[in-house]
Structure 1
Amino acid sequence: MHGHALTIDVISDIMCPWCFIGKRRLEEACALTGVPVDIRWRPFQLDANLPADGKDRTLYLHEKFGGAERAKAICARISSVGRESGIEFAFDSITRSPNTLDCHRLVRWAQHDGAQDALVERLFAAYFLEGVDLTLRDNLIALAGDVGMDARLVAELLDSDADVAETQAEIETAQRIGVTGVPCFIIDGKYALMGAQTPENLAAAIRKAAAEAGAAREPAAHAM
């Protein structure tokens, strides 16, 4: 596998707590395998109908889960799963549920700076741990700056409709190939694992794909 990184596409949404858990589990899986990987973050929107300025979090959870009690129970369950991956979810600090389209545009632009993984991490942490309002443009610009992106350029791009259509097209492609929930991990363009898989499951798929990729390259090496 030397010199050849295995591509892992992670289809994810910043407002999805299971995607944050999935990121930690993927990191654990990569540590278990030692296989060099190239992780690419792909967009998905769990709720594309949220207004641009988001929605009050309490109201949103009430509508989504049909009542405060059920919402509280679901958040408590996610919190306990999160703790196993070292995430201390601060659900009570979240004030607004954002429309994540602009977050996804940021993640797309971060690719050019080699800062994609760092930005995804920063967005998850800001939203789930720090209660940062991701509906506010200035917050997005500051978070991009935190990972070394050009804040002035980001501000200009956010004010334009740059990559809006492209991002939406990527989301539609994910839906078309059957992605209904996130996270979804696509390993080496061949294996799709849906949901917050265990690190062991992800590691097994990474090893299998790496072994197959290595076997596919063998004959070429012997043809010298």
Structure 2
Amino acid sequence: MSDTPAPAGRLEIVSDAICPWCWIGKTHLDRALAILAEEGMTFELGWLPYQLNPDMPAGGVERASYRAQKFGSVERGAELDAQVAEAGRAAGLMFRHDLMARTPNTVEAHRLIRLSHPTGLQHALVERLFRAYFQEGEDIGDPAVLVRLGTETGLPEPVLSAFAAGEAARQEVMAESLGLARAGINGVPSFLMDRHLLFSGAMPGERMAEAFRQAVAILRSQAA
């Protein structure tokens, strides 16, 4: 028999691959998970799709002009990038907005993330996609780029082939992202435990850990 304790619950993160606060939030999440693992508390993890820009063209758009249109000016977009970069530095991350040429449609990234779940590499893949977009300036809307990043993460060939064929998990991603939005999720990252919404936002790891402890205690009490 294994001495590994059963997971304390299913922890799911609603996220978009181009959300900078989601990368910061994942970094804080990893800190929270490490804290709780030392206490013997682990979770089954999953990443759920959300589209910040559901009307984005399939090929994406040039980032600078898109953000100028979205936020009113190039200067305002740069101010927001600077705020993100500062928060990223505090979390130990480096954002390279100077390398980010395009804002992609993220459906393809979400497809690969969903297909990766059975491999146990989903969490690692999400990190690789964040780093590729925010630090390396990769176009993570390009299926060929995504196949390369999936290969680097160690995804098995059948998963990559299913993704490259073009349709696997597409309808599931579209339906789930729409369903989450309709359920009231309007900000990412959002954290769910056993499908109960706990909080949204990239709070520090210690605070996340405490929120997860409290959620586990409440759900266990309700189940008793």
Give me the TM-score of the superposition, normalised by structure 1: 0.90
- Alpha-carbon separation, structure 2, partners of 1:120 and 1:206: 21
How far did residue 112 of structure 1 move? Answer: 1.6
- Structure 2 residues without counterparts, runs of 5 or longer: none
Change in CA separation of 1:136 and 1:190 when aligned onto 2, cut-off 3 Å: closer
Task: Answer yes or no: is 1:83 the counterpart of 2:86.
Answer: no
Change in CA separation of 1:152 and 1:132 when aligned onto 2, cut-off 3 Å: farther
Q: Which residue of 2 aligns with 1:115?
A: 121
Helix, strand or coil at the partner of 2:133: helix
Q: Which residue of 1 aligns with 2:30?
A: 27
Contact 1:21 1:85 in 2 (8 A): yes
Which residues in structure 2 correspond to 1:31-46 (within 5 Å)? Answer: 31-34=34-37, 35-46=41-52
Equivalent of residue 9 in structure 2, options 6, 9, 12? 6
- Alpha-carbon separation, structure 2, partners of 1:153 and 1:28: 29
Contact 1:105 1:167 in 2 (8 A): yes
Contact 1:142 1:151 in 2 (8 A): no
Q: Which residue of 1 aligns with 2:74?
A: 68
- Alpha-carbon separation, structure 1, partners of 2:162 and 2:12: 28
How far did residue 164 of structure 1 move? Answer: 1.1
How far did residue 57 of structure 1 move? Answer: 1.0
- Structure 1 residues without counterparts, runs of 5 or longer: 220-224
How far did residue 132 of structure 1 move? Answer: 0.9
Backbone CA RMSD of aligned residues: 1.9
Write the deviation string for residues 31-58 of structure 1: whole angstroms up to 9, x where unpaired: 2333211221000000011111110011
How far did residue 151 of structure 1 move? Answer: 4.4
How far did residue 118 of structure 1 move? Answer: 0.7
- Alpha-carbon separation, structure 1, partners of 2:122 and 2:76: 34
- Alpha-carbon separation, structure 2, partners of 1:150 and 1:2: 28
The one-letter code sitting in structure 1 at the alignment partner of 2:33 is C
Task: Answer yes or no: is 1:15 the counterpart of 2:21.
Answer: no
The one-letter code sitting in structure 2 at the alignment partner of 1:85 is A
How far did residue 61 of structure 1 move? Answer: 1.2
Contact 2:113 2:122 in 1 (8 A): yes
Higher mean Cα deviation, 73-82 or 33-42?
Answer: 33-42
Write the deviation string for residues 63-119 of structure 1: whole angstroms up to 9, x where unpaired: 121111111111001100011111100111011111000000000011121110010
Higher mean Cα deviation, 24-33 or 106-115?
Answer: 24-33
What number of residue pairs does the alignment pair up? 218
Change in CA separation of 1:199 and 1:50 when aligned onto 2, cut-off 3 Å: same
Change in CA separation of 1:179 and 1:17 when aligned onto 2, cut-off 3 Å: same
Higher mean Cα deviation, 123-132 or 28-37?
Answer: 28-37
Change in CA separation of 1:110 and 1:154 when aligned onto 2, cut-off 3 Å: same
Give me the TM-score of the superposition, normalised by structure 2: 0.90
Q: Which residue of 2 aligns with 1:150?
A: 156
